[in-house]
């Protein structure tokens, strides 16, 4: 009988304590961490969507501008590096891992931007239906990436603020002692400036029209 009373008392105490804990912010940290993790999953989803577009995009450009080997190779290699670097929810608090991921994705962004600028020199590509579809999908994906990054940053801002302010800081230093601030995306210097491209197609000087014949070599000086 005494043990039954103790169990009932424990259950009653639990029902009293749980709402109190929830009401004073005990669940806030894990809830906000889960929100940030879900936002991160969407960031990864959009970056993967972009990576999946690259092979078809490169193949289409290569078919009409095979001489742009340097730019095409740069895109392929940047994609390989971007897909090789991963950040799991467990490592979102690791500055080095996050910056490595951000840098790799930034390199692919810049490589794709240079490729799009090179394409401007090829009218046949700009009228290619398959290329136009891929270009539209890429542009849409870049917009989704920007939105996903913004939403992720906002969720992380809320979560990090909770860890540093009252009463969250109390829970972060007691029951949620393993909670660490998450990393946020930052605009890189490269992303804020448009890339420069020199059209040097198949050894032709800058400014030469694609497919045009190279200028004739200068005549040799007459023998004295």
Residues of the chain with pLDDT below 50 are 6, 8-22, 192, 194-224
Q: What is the CATH number of the domain that holds 96?
A: 1.20.1440.20
Q: What is the CA radius of gyration of the chain?
A: 28
Which pLDDT belongs to residue 187? 77
Q: Is residue 216 part of a domain?
A: no
Placement of tokens 């709402």 in the chain: 19
* 19 domain residue, yes or no: no
Total structural domains within the chain: 1
Token code pair at residue 156: 């992380």
Q: 187: exposed, middle or buried (C-beta count within 10 Å: 0-12, 13-18, 19+)?
A: exposed
Say what the pLDDT of residue 20 is: 46
What domain range is 118 assigned to? 25-189
| Per-residue model confidence (pLDDT) at position 218 | 44
What is residue 189's predicted lDDT score, i.e. its pLDDT? 58
| The Cα angle at residue 16 between residues 10 and 17, in degrees rounded to 5 | 85
């Amino acid at each position: 009988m005494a043990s039954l009373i103790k169990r009932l008392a424990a259950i009653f105490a639990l029902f009293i304590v749980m709402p109190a804990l929830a009401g004073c912010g005990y669940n806030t940290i894990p809830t906000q961490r889960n929100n940030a993790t879900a936002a991160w999953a969407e960031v990864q989803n959009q970056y993967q969507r972009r990576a999946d577009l690259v092979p078809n995009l490169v193949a289409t450009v290569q078919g009409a501008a095979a001489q742009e080997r340097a730019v095409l190779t740069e895109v392929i290699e940047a994609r390989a590096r971007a897909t090789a670097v991963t950040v799991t929810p467990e490592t979102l608090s690791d500055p080095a891992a996050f910056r490595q991921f951000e840098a790799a994705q930034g390199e692919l962004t810049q490589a794709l931007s240079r490729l799009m600028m090179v394409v401007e020199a090829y009218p046949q590509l700009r009228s290619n239906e398959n290329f136009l579809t891929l270009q539209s999908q890429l542009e849409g994906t870049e917009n989704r990436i920007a939105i996903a990054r913004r939403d992720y940053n906002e969720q992380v801002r809320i979560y990090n603020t909770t860890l540093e302010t009252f009463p969250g800081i109390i829970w972060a230093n007691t029951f949620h002692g393993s909670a660490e601030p998450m990393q946020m995306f930052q605009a890189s210097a490269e992303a804020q400036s448009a890339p420069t491209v020199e059209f040097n197609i198949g050894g032709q000087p800058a400014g030469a029209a694609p497919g045009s014949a190279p200028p004739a070599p200068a005549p040799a000086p007459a023998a004295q």
